[in-house]
Amino acid sequence: MDMKSELTIVIPAKNEAKLIPKLLTSLVLQDYKPISHTKVYLADAASTDGTPEIARSYSDWLNIEIIEGGLPAVGRNAGARRATTPYVLFLDADIELSDPTLVRRSVALMKEKQLHCVTTNIACPSGGMRDQTLYSFNNFMQQLSRLYKPFSTGMFMLFDTAAFHALGGFHERALFAEDYLLSQKVARNKFRIVKGSVLTTNRRFMKMGYFKPACLFLNTALHTRKERFFLKDHEYWHSET
């Protein structure tokens, strides 16, 4: 029986052939009943490693379509413009949904509380103590943000589609922390953090070290009102493969 989905999923990606199978497999395994009928846009930024072809290989289980991407903000906005559903879920291509109930519970929370944005925690089980400490700190700061201005990770951002467009979407000229900039615009009473987590790797720390990402995180909070900070190239994406 055909089941209409209330959700569109958008995944910006560039050269994620090694990791995107974990994400797509974890999407297939979600207990959100309309998942196979949920439109999934992979916004590909000219990958050269076969990422689009791998994504298409999941077409028997997911309603997946490849669209043109760019920087994450550009790819996310491109997918959101195509969304005709009440909700749009932005996922990073290098994560995994560890809990098969996460999508269903997130959508249910959005509907029940009439929220604009829902996110979750981040876990790095394959990393060492430093990795886990840094992500735990990120989760702690995310919880604290509910008291002032919301902070959501771009790894998992579920938006009310109308609210997303009303807020202006992701800042496409931002070269860093475009997810932070958008989540700061969400009203506190329209933001929640759903229980659970997405799984990520420590690959960025392995490429950049630990000091620079930590400094960028702190400077992001300190420069919230200074747009030019986010338009500057901090070489964040230079660490990507």
**pLDDT above 70 (res 232):** no
Tell me which of 58 and 176 has the higher pLDDT.
Answer: 58
Contact status, residue 198 vs residue 95, Cβ threshold 8 Å: yes
1 falls in which pLDDT band (50, 70, 90)?
A: very low
Q: Write down the residue that tokens 């994560």 correspond to.
A: 95
Total number of domains in the chain: 1
239 falls in which pLDDT band (50, 70, 90)?
A: very low
Q: Does residue 141 sit within a domain?
A: yes
Q: Does residue 2 sit within a domain?
A: no
Q: What is the pLDDT of residue 241?
A: 45
Contact status, residue 121 vs residue 137, Cβ threshold 8 Å: no
Q: What is the pLDDT of residue 206?
A: 64
Token digits for 210? Answer: 């630990």
Tell me which of 124 and 53 has the higher pLDDT.
Answer: 53
Q: What is the CATH number of the domain that holds 58?
A: 3.90.550.10
Q: Does residue 132 sit within a domain?
A: yes
Tell me which of 96 and 174 has the higher pLDDT.
Answer: 96
**pLDDT above 80 (res 3):** no
Domain span including residue 79: 7-239
- Number of CB atoms found within 10 A of residue 107's CB: 21
Tell me which of 187 and 210 has the higher pLDDT.
Answer: 187
Q: How far is CA 32 from the centre of its chain?
A: 18
pLDDT, one tens digit per residue, over 117-174 is: 999 999 998 888 888 888 888 888 888 888 888 988 889 999 999 999 999 999 998 7
CA distance 122 to 84: 28
Burial of 214 (0-12, 13-18, 19+ CB in 10 A): middle
What value does the mean pLDDT take over residues 35-61? 97
Q: Does residue 137 sit within a domain?
A: yes
Contact status, residue 152 vs residue 183, Cβ threshold 8 Å: yes
**pLDDT above 80 (res 221):** no
Tell me which of 229 and 94 has the higher pLDDT.
Answer: 94
Q: Does residue 65 sit within a domain?
A: yes
Q: What is the pLDDT of residue 203?
A: 73
50 falls in which pLDDT band (50, 70, 90)?
A: very high
Q: Does residue 1 sit within a domain?
A: no
Q: What is the pLDDT of residue 55?
A: 98
Token digits for 185? Answer: 């615009």
Q: Does residue 178 sit within a domain?
A: yes
Q: What is the pLDDT of residue 197?
A: 95
Distances (CA, A) of 147 to 54, 71, 122, 138, 187: 41, 30, 20, 15, 11
